[in-house]
C-alpha cells in the first residue's frame, strides 16, 4: 500500500514552484523603479529554501544607497542585442563570460602592475577594493528609539550582528541583535544623554507639520555635546558604526582617540537628549579641516539640522581664531549642504558690509577657507580674475537679487548659547609648535 501511495504521488504533477530563470552575478538586467525601467547590475544573489533566487542589485547611474534586494520576478532580461558579423545574436551567457574574462584579465594586470602603482592609481585601486568589500549591505534596517530606518550602506559591525534588523539604543548607541535584549536594555539603562560635555542648549524651532509624524515629536530644545574619542571610546566607536550605515566613504570605525565628536540631540518633554546627527573633527588637523565627518540621521533630515551642525563647527573655528574647511571629497549630500551654507553666509556678509571686502577679509570674518569662498562666489558669478588674483565683483543690487533666491538657512547657531572656548594654552602651544 505504501508503494502504491508513493507511485500515486510520483504520477501527480509537481506542486513545487519552478524557480524563475536565474541571473548570474555580474549580469545586467532591467527593473522598474519610480515608474520607469532602469538597467541594474546583479551584485550578489542567494537561493531561498523554495528554490527561488533573490538578487542584490545596483541601478546604473544612481547612488549605492539605493541598492536593494529584489525577487527574480522583478527582473527582466535586457532586450537582445544586434547580431554580430556572423549573424549570431549575443546571449546572456556571452555577457556573463565576457565579464568573467574581463575580471580575470584585470586581476592578472593588477598582479603585474601592483609594484608600479603611482599615488593616483593606488587611490583608484583602494576605491575599487572599498567598493568590492562593501558592495552588499549587511544590515537592512535599524530600530532606534521610536524609528525604524532603512540603511543605505554596508557597515563593519561584527559578523554575528549582520542581520535584517539591528536594535540600537538612542542614548548609549549600544547595538543588539534581539528585540528582547533591546527592550530589557531600555528598562535598565540609566543614561538619558550622550557622554561628554554639553556645549550648546537652545530652544528648538517649530517644526513643519510634515515633520511631526511617523514617530516625530516637537522637541523642546536642541543640544550639542562635545565627546572626546579617547575618553568615551566605546560610545564613539558605536557612533562611527551607526554613521557608516548612511555614509559611503567613511573609514573611521575604531581608532577614535584623535577625534572630537559633536553630537546634536533633540530634547524631549522627558528631558532625554536623543541623537539626531553629529560631526567629528581631528583634534589636530594639518590641513585645517574643521569637519571630518558629518551626518544627520535620515529620520531627522529636512529639519535644517545639517546647516545648524555646520554653523556650530564654524562658530567653534571662529573662537579658535582659525579658518577651516570640511575634509574632502564631500559626498553628494555633503556638497549640497556645504554649498548652500557657504552661499547664505557669504551673501549675508556681502549684504551687511557694503564696502569693498577682500576674500581674505571675508575668510577672517566667517572662518570659511579662501578656496571655498572662491568656488562658491564663482558658482554665483560674483567673482572675476583680474591681474593674477581673484577679485569680488558685485553690486548691492546683485547681492539683494541673490539673497531673494537664496533664503537664509532656517536654523543657525545662537552664538550666545554656545558654551565653548578653546583651552587657555591651545593657541599658545600651537604658536610655539609652529
How far, in Å, CA of 277 to CA of 419, rounded?
Answer: 19
CA 278 vs. chain centroid, Å, equals 12
pLDDT at 50: 87
Give the fold, CATH level 3, of 137-303: Aminopeptidase (3.40.630)
For residue 293, the cross-strand partners are 280
Question: Of the listed 327, 352, 414, 426, which one is catalytic?
Answer: 327
Q: Identify whether the C-beta of residue 262 lies closer than 8 Å to the C-beta of residue 302.
A: no
Q: Is it the case that residue 228 has pLDDT exceeding 50?
A: yes
How far, in Å, CA of 238 to CA of 174, rounded?
Answer: 7
How far, in Å, CA of 88 to CA of 86, rounded?
Answer: 6
More confident residue, 353 or 18: 353
Helix (H/G/I), strand (E/B), else coil: 91? coil
- Smallest CA-to-CA distance from 239 within 223, 221, 227, 222 is with 227
Handedness of CA 149, 153, 158, 162 (dihedral sign): positive
Mark whether 206 is an active-site residue: no
pLDDT at 383: 85
pLDDT at 97: 53
At 54-96, the pLDDT tens digits run 998 999 988 888 888 899 889 988 865 445 555 554 455 555 5
CATH number of 18-135: 2.30.30.140
Q: What is the rounded average pLDDT for all residues in the chain?
A: 82
- Smallest CA-to-CA distance from 92 within 133, 45, 42, 154 is with 42
Mean of pLDDT values over 351-367: 88
Q: What is the pTM of this model?
A: 0.76
Domain 325-434 in CATH 3.40.1590.10: no
Q: Identify whether the C-beta of residue 409 lies closer than 8 Å to the C-beta of residue 341.
A: yes
- Smallest CA-to-CA distance from 157 within 169, 166, 146, 147 is with 166
The residues spanned by each domain of the chain are: 18-135, 137-303, 325-434
pLDDT at 35: 85
Amino acid at each position: 500500500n505504501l508503494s502504491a501511495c508513493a507511485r500515486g504521488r510520483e504520477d501527480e504533477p509537481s506542486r513545487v514552484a519552478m524557480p524563475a530563470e536565474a541571473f548570474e552575478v555580474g549580469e545586467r538586467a532591467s527593473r522598474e523603479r519610480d515608474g520607469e525601467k532602469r538597467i541594474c547590475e546583479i551584485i550578489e544573489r542567494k537561493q531561498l529554501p523554495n528554490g527561488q533566487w533573490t538578487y542584490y542589485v545596483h541601478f546604473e547611474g544612481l547612488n549605492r544607497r539605493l541598492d536593494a534586494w529584489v525577487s527574480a520576478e522583478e527582473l527582466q532580461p535586457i532586450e537582445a542585442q544586434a547580431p554580430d558579423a556572423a549573424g549570431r545574436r549575443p546571449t546572456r551567457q556571452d555577457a556573463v563570460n565576457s565579464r568573467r574574462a574581463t575580471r580575470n584579465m584585470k586581476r592578472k594586470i593588477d598582479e603585474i602592475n601592483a609594484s608600479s602603482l603611482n599615488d593616483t592609481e593606488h587611490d583608484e585601486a583602494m576605491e575599487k577594493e572599498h567598493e568590492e568589500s562593501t558592495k552588499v549591505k549587511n544590515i537592512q534596517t535599524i530600530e532606534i528609539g521610536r524609528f525604524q530606518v532603512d540603511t543605505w550602506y554596508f557597515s563593519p559591525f561584527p559578523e554575528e550582528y549582520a542581520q535584517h534588523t539591528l536594535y540600537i539604543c538612542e542614548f548609549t548607541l549600544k547595538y543588539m541583535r534581539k528585540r528582547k535584549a533591546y527592550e530589557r536594555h531600555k528598562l535598565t539603562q540609566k543614561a538619558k544623554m550622550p557622554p561628554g560635555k554639553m556645549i550648546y542648549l537652545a530652544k528648538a524651532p517649530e517644526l513643519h507639520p510634515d515633520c511631526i509624524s511617523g514617530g516625530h515629536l516637537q522637541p523642546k530644545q536642541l543640544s550639542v555635546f562635545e565627546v572626546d574619542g579617547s575618553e568615551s571610546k566605546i560610545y564613539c566607536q558605536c557612533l562611527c558604526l551607526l554613521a557608516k550605515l548612511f555614509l559611503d566613504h567613511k573609514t573611521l570605525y575604531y581608532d577614535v582617540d584623535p577625534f572630537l565628536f559633536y553630537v546634536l540631540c533633540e530634547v524631549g518633554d522627558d528631558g532625554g537628549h536623543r541623537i539626531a546627527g553629529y560631526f567629528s573633527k581631528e583634534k589636530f588637523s594639518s590641513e585645517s579641516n574643521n569637519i571630518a565627518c558629518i551626518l544627520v540621521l535620515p529620520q531627522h533630515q529636512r529639519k535644517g539640522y545639517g546647516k545648524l551642525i555646520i554653523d556650530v563647527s564654524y562658530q567653534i573655528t571662529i573662537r579658535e581664531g582659525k579658518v577651516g574647511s570640511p575634509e574632502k571629497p564631500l559626498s553628494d549630500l555633503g556638497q549640497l549642504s556645504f554649498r548652500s551654507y557657504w552661499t547664505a553666509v557669504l551673501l549675508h556678509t556681502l549684504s551687511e558690509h557694503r564696502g569693498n571686502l577682500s576674500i581674505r577679509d571675508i575668510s577672517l570674518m566667517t572662518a570659511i577657507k579662501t578656496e571655498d569662498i572662491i568656488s562658491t562666489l564663482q558658482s554665483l558669478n560674483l567673482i572675476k580674475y583680474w591681474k593674477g588674483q581673484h577679485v569680488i565683483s558685485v553690486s548691492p543690487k546683485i547681492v539683494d537679487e541673490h539673497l531673494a533666491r537664496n533664503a537664509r538657512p532656517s536654523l543657525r547657531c545662537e552664538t550666545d548659547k554656545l558654551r565653548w572656548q578653546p583651552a587657555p594654552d591651545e593657541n599658545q602651544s600651537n604658536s610655539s609648535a609652529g
